Structure 1
Amino acid sequence: MKEVTLSIITVNFNNNFGLQKTIRSIQSQSYSDYEHIIIDANSTDGSKETIIKYSQETSHLKYWVSEPDKGIYDGMNKGLKHAKGKYIYFLNSGDFLFDTNVLASISFDDTEYICGNMRIIYSDTEYEDIVPPEKIDGLFLLKSFLPHPASFIHHSLFMNQEYRRDYKIISDWIHMVDNLVLKGCSYKHVNILISKFDSTGLSSTNGSIGLYERNKWIKENIPPRIYASLMELDDLKSSILGSIIPIVNKKKHRTQKRIKKIVLLLARIFK
């Protein structure tokens, strides 16, 4: 049996309307080398009936379940256990693909982390586009994030690592830091709008929880003095002096490379 290229995993809980939008955006894709997995947390709003109807309409839905779980990351881990694709893509209920040719525009070339752009929808007239950087370093991820609904992650990065269930919101960020910073996995930014993100979701409406969890993880994994030094280094990069450094070291940008090596070394030491 031919290995499918992409496993799309959708986690849902009592969001039947959003689930239907997500399903329609997947069904409309011109790309066909994918499987779809839906993990529903025992919804009571008609979501299960929507999934059953969908399963009768497509052969792409390879697995689905509707049962109680222990939160969104528990649901995502359940989906991972049934995924067969070379790449994993999480598109949860309420989020949807930007247009019908999005997936066909991605080159799944064995880069371990492929990330595109994401549009956050605030209202019918208000939105914000999130554009990740061309290159990733530890300083970026410690202060920011990559948009999960626009990220295609090589399946190998989940072989011995699930999402942590002891965090409610930032386990995907922890996975990014661990793989992109500590393990130095390959990364590529594609300048394409991949998805539209539902701003009423858990991570958007509980920003204070996300901030608390991120600070908690940083305190547990990076000593305060080291973290403060990294933030000072980040400020230096954006200062006048920081703009001069790459010019002085124009040849192969040696200073920037050394900064990255320092970040990686400190991260590994204090893992």
Structure 2
Amino acid sequence: MKPLITIATVTYNAEATLERTLKSVASQDYPRIEHLIIDGCSTDHTLSLVQRYVEKNQARHNIRLICEPDNGLYDAMNKALLGATGDYIVFLNAGDCLHSSDTISAIAGKTQWKKGGHNHPAILYGDTHLVDNDGNFLRRRRLTPPEKLTPDSFRDGMLVCHQSFYARTDLARQELYDLSYRYSADFDWCIRIIRRAKRRRIRIVNTHLVLTDYLNEGMTTRNHRASLIERLRIMAHYYGWPATITRHFWFIIRAIIKK
């Protein structure tokens, strides 16, 4: 038996960017996919797109739609965590795409899945490409994944893009998103999952693959300054204010030198 992979997509009035995300999931050659779509009662044509997608692809993948009001992005993502039935979960929101048609097959292969096994990876992660509104490649993400992902890796920022971070669902469900963070709860969540894996001595796997084509205009991108302030608070919480301030001072100096 191969692992069931849950792809969670959170939407709200996302008709402009959702279709390519749906096509990306539909193109996957892996048979055991649950696509969980959490919609916050969209008022545009988002739900029409989803309905057509369901009618066309339900036989290939298990597609589930939950449409109800929520308290923002991370509240909706918590609903996905609690509702997912897959062995692993990844978040792929409107505009983002799986890098290739065999991405989920590659992830499943890296799990070395055995029914009833107890040493399945806590996390599988990889690299990310940034794309524009038309899906055209812009560049590789500036922050690149470390060879080994540890609780200290995020001292240097979010080195693994959230959309390229596959977490074991049983572990992820124990670490819901902290709704006190409006823009960077994913940063905090990833750190907590990594720390939980470390405490339980569960392995973390670097796939050494590009996993995601990430739309370079997400909520965090649009609110970059507020996001940075939140990330500063999160880093200080886990790594202490002195180390965080010192590291950010070095980031500024390095940016000036590179100019």
Same fold by TM-score, threshold 0.5 exceeded?
Answer: yes
Inter-partner Cα distance in structure 2 for 1:93 and 1:63? 16
Asked if structure 2 preserves the Cα contact closer than 8 Å seen for 1:3 and 1:86, the reply is no
Q: Which of 189, 197, 214 is the matching residue for 1:197? A: 214
Q: 1:220 to 1:102 in 2, by over 3 A?
A: closer
Asked if structure 2 preserves the Cα contact closer than 8 Å seen for 1:11 and 1:75, the reply is yes
Percent identity, please.
24
Inter-partner Cα distance in structure 2 for 1:125 and 1:135? 26
Q: TM-score, normalised by structure 2?
A: 0.80
Inter-partner Cα distance in structure 1 for 2:35 and 2:90? 10
Asked if structure 1 preserves the Cα contact closer than 8 Å seen for 2:130 and 2:137, the reply is no
Is the deviation greater in 171-180 or in 87-96? 171-180
Query: Secondary structure of the equivalent of 1:16?
Result: coil
Q: Which residue of 2 aligns with 1:162?
A: 176
Inter-partner Cα distance in structure 2 for 1:226 and 1:199? 29
Query: Secondary structure of the equivalent of 1:189?
Result: strand
Question: How far 1:13 sits from its partner (Å)?
Answer: 1.3
Query: Secondary structure of the equivalent of 2:182?
Result: coil
Inter-partner Cα distance in structure 2 for 1:23 and 1:97? 10
Flag structure 2 segments of 5+ consecutive residues without an equivalent: 113-119, 252-259
The Cα offsets for residues 193-241 of structure 1, whole Å up to 9 and x where unpaired, read as: 1111011110112111111111223444554346568x49x99xxxxxx
Flag structure 1 segments of 5+ consecutive residues without an equivalent: 236-271
Is the deviation greater in 214-223 or in 170-179? 214-223
Larger Rg belongs to: 1
Question: How far 1:111 sits from its partner (Å)?
Answer: 0.9
Inter-partner Cα distance in structure 2 for 1:141 and 1:5? 28
Look up the equivalent residue of 2:222 and give its one-letter code: T
Q: TM-score, normalised by structure 1?
A: 0.77
Look up the equivalent residue of 2:54 and give its one-letter code: S
RMSD after superposition: 2.6
Look up the equivalent residue of 1:113 and give its one-letter code: I
Q: Which residue of 1 aligns with 2:125?
A: 115
Q: Which residue of 1 aligns with 2:256?
A: none
Inter-partner Cα distance in structure 1 for 2:210 and 2:239? 34
Question: How far 1:143 sits from its partner (Å)?
Answer: 2.1
Asked if structure 1 preserves the Cα contact closer than 8 Å seen for 2:177 and 2:189, the reply is yes
How many residues end up aligned between the 2 structures? 233
Inter-partner Cα distance in structure 2 for 1:10 and 1:147? 15
The Cα offsets for residues 109-166 of structure 1, whole Å up to 9 and x where unpaired, read as: 3211100111012474632245311112344312211111111111122232211111
Inter-partner Cα distance in structure 2 for 1:192 and 1:223? 32
Query: Secondary structure of the equivalent of 2:167?
Result: strand
Asked if structure 2 preserves the Cα contact closer than 8 Å seen for 1:13 and 1:40, the reply is yes
Inter-partner Cα distance in structure 2 for 1:18 and 1:30? 22
Asked if structure 2 preserves the Cα contact closer than 8 Å seen for 1:4 and 1:35, the reply is no
Q: 1:23 to 1:125 in 2, by over 3 A?
A: closer
Q: 1:4 to 1:179 in 2, by over 3 A?
A: closer
* Aligned: 1:41 with 2:40: yes
Asked if structure 2 preserves the Cα contact closer than 8 Å seen for 1:4 and 1:84, the reply is no
Q: Which has the higher helix share?
A: 1
Query: Secondary structure of the equivalent of 2:16?
Result: helix
